[in-house]
Amino acid sequence: MAKKVQQIRKGRPPKDMSDGISDRILNTALGLFTTQGFTATSMEQVALACGSGKHTIYRRFESKTDLFLAVMEFQKRKFFDLLVRIECKKESPLETLKESCRRLLELIVSDEIVDFYRMTISEAEHIPKIASNLQCEESPSFLRILDLVISAQGSKDLNRMDPKFVTAQLLQVMTGYPLNEVLLGSKEFSSHSKRSKYFEKAWILFIKGAGEPKKKKVRKRPI
């Protein structure tokens, strides 16, 4: 009896397999770009490290610059997944916002995120598009915190000033300043206790500026 000959699949792989290959390439490239920098990393190195042929990579990314920008988006997507995962529902919208910001601070000064920003900032001069991608109002963290700010305003825990402005200032104090300090070598956020102490002071400052003033109860004088 003749043996059945296994047919070899031709053409493009299924989408789920293709997505898996792309993620493997991006994850490998992220590690190489982070440890070696953009200039020292070649497409050949990426191909060798992830076990894919150069043609497989070039079919998805036309150049090393395109690959680098795709790596940025890949890391931002991973960051958003972590951000969604760490959100904790509390009793009120304001408490939910506070807890989300607390965990966002922990995330932004983690080694993985700091290394990512250090890598991207160092290459901004060579790839101008990087700067506009790092901080924008369409970033996942901005949009997520914006939703929570709007909810807190709806419950009258925050005043009704422009929510985008409030979100921008809140993220600056919770992520912008801490990240910048860590990138510059500061040890201000080197332990959980130090980060907690900073967070509480920063939150009080935010509430004093954006919190809805509590109406004082007026005692009626006896006639």
pLDDT of residue 115: 87
Quick one: which of 55, 25, 24 has its CA closest to 41?
25
Average per-residue pLDDT in the chain?
83
Sequence spans of domains, the chain: 17-62, 75-210
Residue with token string 């250090």: 118
* DSSP H or E segment with residue 21: helix 15-36
**pLDDT tens by residue, 152-168:** 999 999 999 999 999 99
Q: What is the pLDDT averaged over residues 70-74? A: 89
Under CATH, what is the fold of the domain 17-62? Answer: Arc Repressor Mutant, subunit A (1.10.10)
pLDDT of residue 212: 64
pLDDT of residue 19: 65
| Position 136 confidence tier, pLDDT thresholds 50, 70, 90 | low
Amino acid identity at 36? Q
**pLDDT tens by residue, 83-133:** 766 556 677 899 999 998 998 899 999 988 898 888 888 777 777 777 666
CATH of 75-210, one of 2.60.40, 3.30.70, 1.10.357, 2.20.28: 1.10.357
Largest CA distance in the chain: 112
Q: Which residues contact 129 (CB under 8 A, 6 or more apart)?
A: 69
pLDDT of residue 2: 47
pLDDT of residue 120: 82
Strands (E), the chain: none
Q: What is the pLDDT averaged over residues 26-39? A: 90
Among 87-101, 105-119, 134-148, 186-200, which is the least confidently predicted range? 134-148
Q: Which residues contact 124 (CB under 8 A, 6 or more apart)?
A: 130, 131, 134
